[in-house]
């Protein structure tokens, strides 16, 4: 009896150890694949999302759009080409960390100059060892892709993103508003030439001034869409920080702590479920004969 009990005990312990070892290996490999983020949580705030008044850049693109129309069932479909002029906003966001801040900042500025880019916003803050640089860069559309690829080589990239938003309808709406205001202004100027009371003349002049101000505001917005002002945007954040190298012992320690915590939790839940199932079946076993007797009676 004792020999059978010892064999069962050894077998149970072996199964538990194998399960622990498998979970430990899984956590250890997971730590390598994710960079062991629990060692150093890096926080990169979305700096530019808080800047609503910074300049927005727009670009244009022309291409052919082909459709097929069939005038009658007997005729084949005839291709029709249309010229499409698209206005769009293309923005890239790069967040990088550098252990050699001066070198990477110099490399970044030289690259901007080489690509004929324009720094439209800059914030440089912090003391040596904990500095940050945020640049809003206008890049010519033709060199946007190559410039973006080159900037990914500066520092150690932590995140990157590219978004492209169509602005064609917004551009058309601005032009429509401008045309409508110009017609209204011309009508008011024609009315102004007619005789009338001084109060009406003053009110008319005030309304003309309001329209002039609205036209100036639309002119500024439409100016961003002009060909000579076309740029794509790269938002680059460079943070200074020392790279942390994770040792093998630390990886083993973290993997062991995590495995011990969750494996013991799993065993506790399994044991509680087994005890609950045992007493539940015991109660059912005690109650079923009585219920059957009552039904028979």
pLDDT score of 292 more than 50: yes
DSSP state of 197: -
Dihedral of alpha carbons 46, 50, 54, 58, sign: positive
Strands (E), the chain: 59-69, 78-98, 118-125, 132-139, 156-166, 232-240
Q: Mind listing the pLDDT tens digit for each residue in 172-205?
A: 888 888 888 888 888 877 777 777 677 777 777 8
Question: How far apart (Å, rounded) are the C-alpha atoms in residues 178 and 76?
Answer: 43
Under the banding of pLDDT at 50, 70 and 90, the label for residue 5 is low
Question: How far apart (Å, rounded) are the C-alpha atoms in residues 21 and 240?
Answer: 39
| Closest C-alpha among 228, 238, 237 to residue 140 | 228
Q: Mind listing the pLDDT tens digit for each residue in 33-69?
A: 665 444 444 445 567 766 666 778 888 887 666 665 6
Helix (H) or strand (E) holding 221: helix 198-223
| Closest C-alpha among 84, 92, 89 to residue 57 | 89
- pTM exceeds cut of 0.75: no
Q: Mind listing the pLDDT tens digit for each residue in 8-18?
A: 777 877 887 88
Residue 81: the pLDDT is 66
Q: CA-CA distances (angstroms) from residue 288 to 95, 255, 275, 285?
A: 68, 49, 20, 6
Residue 37: the pLDDT is 47
Backbone angles phi, psi at 108, to 5 degrees: -65, -45
Question: How far apart (Å, rounded) are the C-alpha atoms in residues 68 and 80?
Answer: 6
Q: Mind listing the pLDDT tens digit for each residue in 142-163?
A: 899 999 999 999 988 888 999 9
Three-state secondary structure call for residue 84: strand
Cβ burial of 7 (10 Å; 0-12, 13-18, 19+) is exposed
């Amino acid at each position: 009896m004792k020999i059978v009990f010892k064999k069962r005990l050894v077998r149970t312990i072996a199964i538990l150890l194998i399960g622990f070892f498998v979970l430990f290996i899984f956590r250890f490999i997971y730590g390598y694949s994710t960079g062991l983020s629990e060692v150093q949580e890096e926080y990169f705030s979305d700096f530019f999302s808080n800047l609503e008044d910074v300049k927005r850049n727009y670009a244009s693109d022309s291409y052919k759009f082909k459709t097929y129309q069939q005038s009658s069932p007997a005729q084949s479909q005839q291709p029709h080409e249309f010229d499409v002029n698209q206005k769009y906003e293309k923005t890239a966001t790069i967040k990088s960390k550098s252990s050699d801040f001066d070198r990477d900042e110099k490399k970044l500025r030289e690259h901007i100059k080489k690509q004929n880019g324009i720094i439209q916003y800059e914030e440089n803050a912090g003391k040596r060892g904990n500095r940050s640089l945020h640049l809003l860069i206008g890049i010519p559309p033709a060199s946007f892709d190559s410039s973006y690829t080159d900037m990914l080589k500066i520092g150690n990239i932590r995140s990157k993103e590219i978004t492209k938003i169509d602005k064609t309808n917004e551009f058309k709406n601005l032009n429509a508003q401008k045309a409508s205001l110009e017609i209204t202004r011309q009508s008011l100027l024609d009315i102004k030439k007619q005789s009338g009371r001084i109060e009406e003349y003053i009110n008319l002049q005030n309304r003309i001034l309001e329209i002039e101000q609205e036209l100036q505001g639309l002119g500024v917005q439409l100016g961003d869409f002009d060909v000579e002002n076309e740029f794509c945007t790269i938002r680059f954040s460079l943070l200074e920080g020392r790279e942390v190298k994770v040792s093998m012992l630390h990886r083993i320690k973290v993997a062991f702590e995590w495995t011990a915590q969750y494996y013991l939790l799993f065993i506790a839940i399994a044991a509680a479920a087994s005890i609950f199932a045992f007493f539940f079946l015991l109660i059912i076993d005690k109650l079923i004969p009585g219920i059957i007797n009552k039904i028979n009676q």
